[in-house]
């Protein structure tokens, strides 16, 4: 139930909140920003489309990093050995207003015990300056990230709230610090869930639009925990809190 939450219309906004990635209005456009693959079979292949919105040609390269998420805090990227994916091409020149499709296939361990996370960085490469020019030219280069999650075939996520406590974020907003646990073998996303909160006579239901605004992508790795904050101005100051999360319809 948790494995197919995302529609293309909401992916970009949710990813921005997850990784704080901002794409320029006119430059390098990359889609999709989230790729979900199976470790084997037809679901192990996908594609990445790059659109050049500029009036000059650009050369772009796709690189892979391993992605890990601590229980609390920012994502961590580490260099990948490049053996988990076949990407064709890895470097391409995209003409003004043109597009390039990069074919992606997972060729890593087909017997994954749980989902594995990666980050694809689609980066613009610098142009070679004219050797006759005496002054160096400043080049603004863009790089757009896409989350890639590979799961064991038929694996699902099993996400629930195991702790909810009152807290204040760095903006001084009152709310709840929630601990989500995923006991499943597949990754899951809180950003498209529904959540019910109750504290005594007070109750609140957050639909998937509100969850997306609060948690962004809300990616929770398989067999892991993540601590996240949601601002709730009307939360009672005392009393025990019950929180229940369910996959979005």
Q: Is residue 3 part of a domain?
A: no
The contacts of residue 164 (CB under 8 Å, 6+ apart) are: 176, 177, 178, 179, 197, 241, 242, 243
Return the closest-CA partner of residue 23 out of 66, 47, 54: 54
Q: For residue 90, give both structure tokens.
A: 């890895």
What pLDDT is attached to residue 249? 56
- Residue found under tokens 């361990």: 109
Per-residue pLDDT of the chain (249 residues; tens, 9 = 90+): 454 333 333 333 334 444 433 444 457 899 999 999 999 999 999 999 999 998 899 999 999 999 999 999 899 999 998 899 999 999 999 999 999 999 999 999 999 999 999 999 999 998 775 555 555 566 778 899 999 999 999 999 999 999 999 999 999 999 999 999 999 999 999 998 999 999 999 999 999 999 999 999 899 999 999 999 999 999 999 999 999 999 865
Longest dimension (CA), the chain: 76
88 shares its domain with 165: no
Last residue of a domain, one of 112, 132, 151: 151
Q: What per-residue confidence (pLDDT) applies to 49?
A: 97
Q: Which of 119, 151, 183 is the last residue of a domain?
A: 151
Residues 137 and 14 grouped into a single domain: yes
55 and 127 together in one domain: yes
pTM exceeding 0.95: no
Residue 185 inside a domain? The answer is yes
pLDDT computed for residue 136 by the predictor:
57
33 and 105 in a single domain? The answer is yes
Q: Please count the structural domains in the chain.
A: 2
For residue 131, what pLDDT is reported? 54
The label of the residue with tokens 């199976």 reads 38
- For residue 137, the enclosing domain spans 8-151
Cβ partners under 8 Å of residue 72, min gap 6: 226, 227
Residue 1 lies in a domain: no
What's the CATH number where 185 sits? 2.60.40
pLDDT at residue 213 in the model: 94
Residues 140 and 56 in one domain: yes
- Residue 28 in any domain: the answer is yes
Assess whether 35 and 146 both reside in one domain: yes
Q: Which of 151, 177, 196 is the last residue of a domain?
A: 151
pLDDT on residue 133: 55
- Please check whether residue 65 lies inside any domain of the structure: yes
Looking at the domain assignment, is residue 70 inside a domain?
Answer: yes
147 and 183 both lie in a single domain: no
Tokens coding 134: 């005496």
User: Rg for the chain (alpha carbons), in Å?
Assistant: 21
């Amino acid at each position: 139930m948790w494995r197919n939450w995302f529609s293309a219309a909401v992916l970009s906004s949710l990813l921005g909140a997850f990784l704080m990635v901002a794409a320029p209005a006119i430059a390098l456009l990359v889609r999709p920003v989230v790729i979900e693959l199976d470790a084997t079979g037809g679901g192990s292949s996908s594609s990445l489309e790059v659109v050049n919105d500029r009036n000059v040609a650009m050369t772009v390269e796709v690189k892979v990093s391993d992605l890990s998420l601590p229980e609390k805090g920012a994502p961590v990227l580490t260099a990948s050995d490049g053996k988990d994916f076949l990407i064709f091409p890895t470097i391409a020149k995209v003409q003004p207003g043109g597009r390039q499709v990069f074919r992606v296939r997972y060729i890593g361990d087909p017997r994954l015990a749980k989902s594995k996370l990666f980050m694809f960085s689609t980066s613009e490469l610098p142009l070679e300056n004219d050797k006759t020019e005496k002054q160096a030219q400043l080049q603004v280069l863009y790089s757009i990230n896409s989350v890639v999650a590979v799961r064991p075939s038929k694996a699902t996520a099993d996400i629930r709230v195991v702790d909810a406590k009152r807290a204040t974020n760095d903006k001084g907003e009152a709310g709840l610090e929630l601990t989500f646990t995923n006991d499943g073998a597949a990754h899951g996303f809180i950003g498209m869930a529904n959540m019910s909160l109750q504290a005594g006579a007070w109750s609140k239901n957050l639909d998937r639009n509100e969850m997306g605004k609060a948690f962004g992508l809300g990616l929770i790795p398989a067999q892991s925990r993540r601590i996240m904050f949601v601002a709730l101005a009307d939360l009672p100051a005392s009393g025990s809190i019950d929180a229940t999360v369910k996959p979005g319809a």
